[in-house]
Amino acid sequence: MKRILFLLLVFATNLSIYSQRVFEVHYRHVPMENMQEFEDLEMNHWYKVVQDAVNKGNLVSWSFHKRLDAGSIDFDEDTPTHAFVVVFKDVDQYLNSNKIWDNAAAILGADPNRFTTMNMSRTLMRQRYAIADGLGSTENGKYSIWNYAKPKDLAGFLEENSNLWKPFFEKNMKKNGMVAWGVANRIYPQGMDASTVLTWDVFSSLSAAMKHLSNTEIDPQIINKSKMSEYDPDGFRYRVIMQTLKRTKSK
């Protein structure tokens, strides 16, 4: 019961901070031979559409990411090479996300089908998350580590991230080249073997991101306070570095 009450408190607290922000991650697989054209279309054409949606208040932000080794390794077609992160102020705005594309033809100056990237990529999945906590700004982030987990105790996992790891990261952000951090729980889909939480560590350089992944020396005081071995005994199930190719500007 204590864990459930804390989880409710976390969401209530973040109501004022994040206005119940939710986001959707679109994972795409793009064959190597299509990557240049795919990225050009998304960054130079569809970017204008989503930026217009931000300007009109129909969207909080949009960002376009590429897996670090995409383009140098030809992944199988079930492996994501790119991802879009689309952030909404709340569930209601998300459910009205069709407004984002209402003016696409006018903004693109032609039939949107001329700029489609669907025929050169494969959409693998879409995941929806609710932001539980975070710090910093991703605006200056160039590389980010996405960490997926399925803790046995979700409330405990979120509690420790907010009360222990968030202050630790905040204290060490500057020296570690970190510009932002956050944690979110998955809204949909749920169940089966799916991860239930996603955390992200955003850095100003690839070097900083790689050093963060390779660092095994953590403050002993933090380790002694941590109960993560109870909350999430299996640890992160998957970690991947994503390069930010493009992001919208704040309204």
Write out pLDDT tens, residues 139-176.
999 999 999 999 999 999 999 999 999 999 999 999 99
Least confident range from 57-61, 118-122, 192-196: namely 192-196
**Chain centroid to CA 133:** 13
Average pLDDT over residues 96-116: 96
Residue 6's SS3 state is helix
Write out pLDDT tens, residues 29-56.
999 999 999 999 999 999 999 999 999 9
Least confident range from 15-29, 42-56, 236-250: namely 15-29
Task: Provide the CATH number for the domain around residue 186.
Answer: 3.30.70.100
Token pair of 89 as six digits: 């102020």
The tokens 């976390």 sit on which residue? 10
pLDDT score, position 192 = 79
Q: Is the pLDDT of residue 16 over 50?
A: no
**Chain centroid to CA 21:** 12
pTM over 0.85: yes
Is residue 112 within 8 Å of residue 173, measured between CB atoms? no
The tokens 């795409």 sit on which residue? 28
pLDDT score, position 157 = 98
pLDDT score, position 52 = 97
pLDDT score, position 2 = 41
Q: Is the pLDDT of residue 6 over 70?
A: no
Residue 139 lies in domain = 2-247
**What's the total number of domains in the chain?**
1
Least confident range from 132-136, 145-149, 192-196, 237-241: namely 192-196
In whole numbers, what is the pLDDT of the chain averaged over residues? 92
pLDDT score, position 13 = 42
pLDDT score, position 219 = 83
Vertex 20: Cα angle to 193 and 63 (nearest 5):
70
Is residue 202 within 8 Å of residue 138, measured between CB atoms? yes
Confidence of residue 5 (pLDDT cuts 50, 70, 90): very low
